[in-house]
Amino acid sequence: MSDDSAEAKVPLSESVPRRFAHLILNFFVGLAVGLAPFLGTQNVPFFKALISVMPFQIRNELIVLSAFLMGLIVAAVQFYAAERIARPVLRKRFGLALIVIGAGFVLFYVLRAEFTVDVPRGEGTVTVLIGSRPLKSCSCPDPEGNPEACIQRLTFNAAAIAHCWSYREIRRRGELLGLAYLILTGGVGILVGFILVQEGVRRREKKTPARRRPAPPAAGTA
């Protein structure tokens, strides 16, 4: 092997780590910054992110997990955008994604109504995750009949709330509700990804010249 060919391979090998780091930053850091209003890390006038109706006890970890999930979805979209996918297959997968996001929405709505209470605080409300039944050791007068007043009395302290309702049950409920949230937000990202892949398929079809059909044989020829 000549020295010229060996030198030609050096820039390629050196560019791989830089390209890898660039993609990681784009898919996970840059994406999280760009999706800040959707993820709820940046306030936008006249818009409230879905995370604003989630319990305050699990809100921060859900922002991190949803940002990571969106990064994975974008990486998958980037990969499949370069592949040749037939339109029927794309439509079928889009339909399945719609079913999943519909089921995730129903699951999210039911679990949030069952597992949480909205407690007034200032001019708005705060969503709080509680258990099915309060513990006997709870210091509130009527935590089962009026959990909102009990949480206000506990000053929205997560540790104090865990003393009135089972910590393990709150944690388990938070995991289920968080999973429903990730299915819902991830489903939105997948739907958008399929739309982008479809646009790529259309662009390739326009660039690919149509095959000419063979001319019909002339009359009277065998």
DSSP secondary structure code for residue 28 in this structure:
I
Count CB neighbours of 23 within 10 A.
13
- Give the global pTM: 0.76
Element (H, E) at 119: strand 116-121
Task: For residue 221, name the pLDDT band (cuts at 50, 70, 90).
Answer: low
pLDDT digits (tens, 9 = 90+) for 184-220: 989 988 888 888 888 887 777 777 665 555 555 655 5
pLDDT digits (tens, 9 = 90+) for 31-41: 666 676 666 66
Element (H, E) at 196: helix 167-207
Q: Does residue 88 contact residue 94 with C-beta atoms inside 8 Å?
A: no
State the Cα–Cα distance between residues 84 and 80, nearest whole angstrom: 8
Give the chain's radius of gyration (CA, Å).
Answer: 27
Q: How far is CA 190 from the centre of its chain?
A: 8
- Burial of 31 (C-beta count, 10 Å sphere; 0-12/13-18/19+): buried
